[in-house]
Amino acid sequence: MSFDAVIDVRNVSKRFGGLTAVNNCSLSVQRGSITGLIGPNGAGKSTLFNIVAGNIVPDSGQVLFDGQDVTGLAPHQLFRQGMLRTFQIAHEFSNMTALENLMMVPGDQPGESLVDSWLRPRLVKARETEVRKKALDVIDFLKLGHVRNELAGNLSGGQKKLLELGRTMMVDAKVVLLDEVAAGVNKTLLHDLAANIERMNKELGYTFFVIEHDMDLIGRLCDPVIVMAQGEKIAEGPMSEIRANAAIVEAYFGSPVEAD
């Protein structure tokens, strides 16, 4: 394991009946990076991503997070340790405002306790004020102030993706898993989304692990890019090298990919 690896996947395999989805795969995500994971349909990347996120338990191998073995831990357990995931389809609380969605994220708030609400109202109020201030700071960072009081269910696809990014900022995640962040987002908001991911990485030190089909977005955001095929990691490097590898382009993308 590299000293700076925040996620380290070691010899992970997963089978579904007679199908081997992930075959003895090893890879790492370096702290402070935006690491991309790409490959054709059936490559095993979604299965591996779900194993890292705690949605699937591997048949063999290990997943280490921040140096600790977290193999088989559930998503809510990983959340407490600082690993957060966004989804291809945003999972907002549609009947709450954008601001309220953000304020819901931090766990163990005293207002969740009936006893604290009755006996320690000042503590409850102080914590609520603190959480609200942070939520407003996140909204300001993401430039969502114009929709902060709008019901989240009324937001556009791109705005919902921005809101999901904001939810990861409410708990200062060690690593954010981005699942098809470009899906359902128009080009204008996708540019804003990418810019905010870059800002979170460069200004706030967030680490991202990205699974994505949009090669232009991967090329803009990610270094390194990891390529999977037939359940195995077959290449890793900057997107310029991946695009220039004729064998990878022909075998795994079907046609030449032009360089940026």
Q: What is the pLDDT of residue 110?
A: 44
For residue 253, the one-letter residue type is F
210, 38 Cβ separation under 8 angstroms: no
How does pLDDT run across 215-254, given as a tens digit for each residue? 899 999 999 999 998 899 999 999 988 888 876 776 565 6
Tell me how far CA of residue 211 lies from CA of 98, 120, 145, 171, 183, in angstroms: 25, 44, 28, 22, 11
Domains in the chain, ordered, with CATH?
Answer: 5-88+167-253 (3.40.50.300), 93-154 (no CATH)
Q: Which residue has the tokens 């695009």?
A: 243
Q: Give mean pLDDT, residues 119-133.
A: 73
How does pLDDT run across 134-187, given as a tens digit for each residue? 999 999 998 899 999 999 999 988 898 889 888 888 887 899 999 888 887 888
Q: What is the pLDDT of residue 257?
A: 44
Cα separation of 239 and 116, whole Å?
Answer: 52
Q: What is the pLDDT of residue 42?
A: 86
- pTM of this structure: 0.82
Share in percent of the chain as helix, strand, coil (round to 5): 40, 25, 35
Of 222, 207, 255, 226, nearest in space to 39 by CA: 226
Of 93, 214, 212, nearest in space to 160 by CA: 93
DSSP state of 49: H
